[in-house]
A and B are shown apart, each in its own frame.
Chain A
Amino acid sequence: MSDLTAKPKLARLFRMQWEEAQGAYVLLYPEGMVKLNQSAGEILKRCDGERDVAAIVADIEQAFGATGLEPEVNGFIEIATERGWIV
């Protein structure tokens, strides 16, 4: 379980951008690319080093008119941290 007060941000090696041809957000890094699914894209683009995890959850819940998304957001943040995408 990640810390709700942590303020994740994209690691230096990665760049995130919207790719029209793929209809998706992608993560670009040296000689590689990860295509993100919608929820991964929505979470990651909010990892700006200013918002904490609680704020990211609240923001996403508001944007999608949903509640109880904390486990999903947390789960993704754990995976993204493990893969070195965010710090």
Chain B
Amino acid sequence: MDLLRLQLSEAGLSEQKLIPPPLWLLAEITYKCPLHCVFCYNPLNYAENRNELSTAQWIDVLQQARKLGAAQLGFSGGEPLVRDDLEELIGEGHRLGFYTNLITSGIGLTETRIARMKELGLDHIQLSFQDSTKEMNDFLSSTKTFELKSRVAKLIKQYDYPMVLNVVLHRYNLDHVGRIIEMAVEMGVEYLELANTQYYGWGMVNRDQLIPTRDQLERAEAVVNEYRAKLGNKVRILFVVPDYFEERPKACMNGWGSVFLAVAADGAALPCHAAKSLPGLQFPNVTEETLQNIWYKSDAFNRYRGDAWMKEPCRSCSEKDKDFGGCRCQAYALTGAAENADPVCSKSPHHSDVKQIVMQAQTKPVTAEEKPLLFRTDANSMRYASIPIKEERNKVP
């Protein structure tokens, strides 16, 4: 008996060693956000679940993740500054040896708070802007925040932080990309992330109004390249091409359950920030299971790990170790099955659907007048709340 148990535990150990440890912990500490961005990737029904982990629970998550091997820690949300224990969590993250990143809209970042964060060892701040103009920034976020963000950008430099400026791009601001780069240079930004909208969550609902034309995209890319040549290493510009316009999918999350572990505000552990959109997956909660079990043993993290789950054309594809079949959430959203190839790939039998969407944006774009943009607000979110149990029961005869 004892011998058998020993052999089993050894087998368990070696099995575990085949799965690499998580390296990135994204702590989405709250879904509350003062902004209402139309391209937010948060779940549509975020407002339905108001449970948030306590400070002690988050500290436990950080300790467990660090022990598993995670070295990068991102605080995100929602807007992480909404929580007044953020400083305490940053301090704990630093003490544990994480490289700590704050991913923020800047709203709520006062001088007192940034000074305290610096003292506690925060390593880096990524600030988002919606546009280079006050009007468009404020329109897209449905707030009056441009000037506030500009003051925060100055604070970040004043406290000697490396600054990453993030601007999400789409039809309404792609033509401003030159001015956005100029703004970044003025701010003294080290990295500029020009991230074309990825269509998840609120971004997906607003996709038809946000998707640019191919011409617009090519013009923007040419402008980016001109600035790259001009600025050299002074500002590193990352231009994330929208994958609908590509022929090969992105290596989403560097593979499911490979390096990335997100913990949502309510404690759900996710292999990708958009994973809650996938049906039929039960996401384990950190309040019920250890991170070790979640990462190595849970069905959710093992479902699309490796390549045994793949169907054709991925299964026999020579590039499957490069892009891992693309994004599961996108495969589900566009083909109805998460195990299908990401239809961004030209080898996918559904690729023509993506081409169709891109084509329509060129020839017959849906305007915001025809179909109003849906802002990420609590009221709009409640429209996507799942049917209350009571109502569902009433349907049963």
Q: Which A residues fall within an 8 A CB radius of B?
A: 12-13, 15, 17, 19-22, 26, 28-33, 84
Contacts and interface: CB of A to CB of B under 8 A. Distances in A.
A33 B21 CA distance: 14
B108 interface: no
Interface string B87-113: 000000000010101000000000000
Interface in B120-138: 123-124, 126
Nearest to B66: A21
Contacts of B123: 15, 28, 30
Contacts of B101: 30-31
- Shortest 4 CB-CB contacts between residues of A and residues of B: A21-B69, A28-B99, A30-B124, A21-B21
B164 interface: yes
Nearest to A26: B71
A12 B163 CA distance: 12
12 contacts: A17-B97, A19-B71, A21-B68, A22-B23, A26-B71, A28-B71, A28-B72, A28-B123, A29-B99, A30-B101, A33-B71, A33-B99
Given A17-B97, A84-B233, A30 B126 contact: yes
A32 to B, nearest CB: 8
Contacts of B21: 21-22
B72 A12 contact: no
Residue of A12, A17, A33 with most partner-chain B CB within 10 A: A33
Given A13-B162, A21-B21, A84-B233, A30 B191 contact: yes
Question: Taking each of B23, B71, B74, which has the highest tally of chain A beta carbons within 10 Å of its own beta carbon?
Answer: B71
A84 B23 CA distance: 22
A12 B164 CA distance: 14
Contacts of A13: 162, 190
Interface of B: 21, 23, 68-69, 71-72, 74, 97, 99, 101, 123-124, 126, 162, 164, 190-191, 233
A26 B69 CA distance: 12
A20 B23 CA distance: 12
Contact of A33 (B68, B72, B74, B233): B72
Contact of B162 (A12, A20, A33): A12
A15 B162 CA distance: 12
B162 A19 contact: no
Contacts of A30: 101, 123-124, 126, 162, 164, 191
A22 B71 CA distance: 10
Contacts of A29: 99, 124, 162
B133 to A, nearest CB: 26
A13 B101 CA distance: 12
Nearest to B124: A30
Most buried by B among A26, A30, A32: A30
A8 to B, nearest CB: 17
Nearest to A22: B69
A19 B71 CA distance: 8
Nearest to B67: A21
A31 B74 contact: yes
Given A21-B21, A32-B72, 5 more contacts: A15-B99, A17-B71, A22-B21, A30-B191, A31-B72
Nearest to B103: A31
A19 B72 CA distance: 11
Nearest to B97: A17
B181 to A, nearest CB: 18
Contacts of B68: 21
A26 B126 CA distance: 21
Contacts of A12: 162
Contacts of A26: 71
Nearest to B123: A15
Contact of B164 (A19, A20, A21, A31): A31
Contacts of A28: 71-72, 99, 123
Nearest to B69: A21
Contacts of A84: 233
A59 B188 CA distance: 38
Nearest to A32: B72
A33 B74 CA distance: 13
A21 B21 CA distance: 7
A12 B186 CA distance: 20
A20 B69 CA distance: 7
Given A12-B162, A15-B99, A31 B71 contact: no
